[in-house]
A and B are shown apart, each in its own frame.
Chain A
Amino acid sequence: MPDDFKAERQKEVSSNKIVLYIKGTKEQPQCGFSAATIQAFKLLGKPFHTIDVLSNPEIRSRMQEFSNWPTFPQVFVGGQFLGGCDIVTEMYETGELKKVVEATFNS
């Protein structure tokens, strides 16, 4: 049921301002890239929702196609796919992530 999967993900990423598909949990990330991404969002101080792809094999195998992105973490802000760890950390360093996040929370 491919459409159900897409519909569920669409709902998930649009009903939360920030959604991170990661390996592990917010408290216990299982991968350095996921940990670095969580850290950037923790520092921004806004609430964010995480989904552990290690305990959701279907999400893990189908997100690649959904986002057209080969790896995790995958970050969505305001329903839009933002990128992975490299993009998020680079945007954090330049201050752009803060702008994007604040714009989303103020909208």
Chain B
Amino acid sequence: MIHPEEVKSLLIRHFPGAEVSVADQTGTMDHFDIHVISKVFEGKTLIEQHRMVQVPLEAALTDGRIHAVQIKTRTSL
């Protein structure tokens, strides 16, 4: 379990200037719907973009605080 705000701040710290939204999908604070809009994704494949989003969440994914994430990445609005 991890608070959605904490997930959001992990992402914002990792992607300065990015537009980040995190929604608790199940109300159990372990399944999150994550949207990240950032220029850093430009020219990257989808898999590279998703791997980049997983980096700051790795510890929480590994120790089980996060069970599942749904990721959506964009380079602009």
Given contacts A70-B54, A81-B47, contact A86 B61 (CB under 8 A): no
In the assembled complex, the CB of B6 is this many whole angstroms from the nearest CB of chain A, namely 18
Of the residues A68, A82, A86, A91, contact of B71 by C-beta under 8 Å: A86
In the assembled complex, the CB of A16 is this many whole angstroms from the nearest CB of chain B, namely 20
| Majority secondary structure, B binding face | helix
Given contacts A33-B68, A71-B69, contact A83 B47 (CB under 8 A): yes
| Majority secondary structure, A binding face | mixed
In the assembled complex, the CB of B46 is this many whole angstroms from the nearest CB of chain A, namely 5
Per-position contact with A for B37-77: 1 when CB-CB < 8 Å, else 0?
00000000011001100100010011000001111100000
Interface size on A, residues (CB 8 A): 14
In the assembled complex, the CB of A82 is this many whole angstroms from the nearest CB of chain B, namely 7
Chain A residues near B61: list those with CB within 8 A: 70-71
B-facing residues in A43-70 (Cβ within 8 Å): 68-70
Chain A residues near B62: list those with CB within 8 A: 70
Interface set of B (CB-CB < 8 Å, partner A): 46-47, 50-51, 54, 58, 61-62, 68-72
